A and B are shown apart, each in its own frame.
Chain A
Amino acid sequence: NAGVTQTPKFQVLKTGQSMTLQCAQDMNHEYMSWYRQDPGMGLRLIHYSVGAGITDQGEVPNGYNVSRSTTEDFPLRLLSAAPSQTSVYFCASSPNLNTEAFFGQGTRLTVV
């Protein structure tokens, strides 16, 4: 089982560039989310989705867009990369409210 797959694993961007972080899950989970991890701050929720066609903002949504056209995929778009977006990004999915979230391997993004 693939679980949650994130691509790419590493990325370097120049300030102002845009890019999409890909996330796919093969577990038919309704709920998917994106987090960023910064030193000393744990994981902070960027955007989440409770099903295809439904997305909402998390704690730190500025500078990021998401869409959910299928149950499987939940891409995260950086519109105009800034050095403050240098971070490790995690995608996660879960089947319902009472179970753990399954995480992808993470994407380490550096914006120069």
Chain B
Amino acid sequence: AQKITQTQPGMFVQEKEAVTLDCTYDTSDQSYGLFWYKQPSSGEMIFLIYQGSYDEQNATEGRYSLNFQKARKSANLVISASQLGDSAMYFCAMKTHNDYKLSFGAGTTVTVRA
């Protein structure tokens, strides 16, 4: 079974600074995908970024990048140049490629200060 760990319940970051959200995972499968979702106070789940276990390059999407360290089983999300609108809950998730089930971490709340 997959397990996702997010050890930071909450973080504060100053506007325009970068913030790193930690995510570690545990799986015995070699083929898997890692996802980050954002949940603002309005409640919807917004997909941010995806990293496949065989991808050689770290994924990037605009101000979001994923620091993927396969040997350490970590998939940290980096948000650069934080904006007030980045204040939200962020979830790390994983699914293996032989199974549709998406397993989530407990989430990290990010608060961006002006």
Using CB atoms and an 8 Å cutoff, list the residues of chain A in contact with chain B: 31, 33, 35, 40-45, 48, 50, 58, 88, 90, 92, 94, 97-103, 105-106, 108
Contact = CB atoms under 8 A, between A and B. Distances in A.
B101 A58 contact: yes
Given A33-B102, A48-B100, A98 B33 contact: yes
Given A35-B104, A48-B101, A102-B47, 18 more contacts: A33-B102, A42-B104, A45-B101, A50-B100, A88-B43, A90-B45, A94-B100, A97-B97, A97-B99, A100-B35, A100-B47, A101-B35, A103-B44, A105-B43, A105-B44, A106-B43, A106-B44, A108-B43
Chain B interface category by residue count:
20 to 34
A96 B9 CA distance: 31
Contacts of B50: 99-100
Interface string B6-47: 100100000000000000000000000101010000011101
Query: Lowest 6 A-B CB distances belong to which pairs?
Result: A103-B45, A42-B104, A100-B47, A43-B104, A31-B100, A42-B106
**What's the dominant secondary structure at chain A's contact region?**
strand
A31 B99 CA distance: 11
A98 B50 CA distance: 9
Contacts of B98: 97
B100 A98 contact: no
A8 B112 CA distance: 32
Contacts of B102: 33, 45, 92, 101
A22 B110 CA distance: 31
Nearest to A97: B97
Contacts of B68: none
Contacts of B35: 100-101
A75 B45 CA distance: 19
Contacts of A90: 45
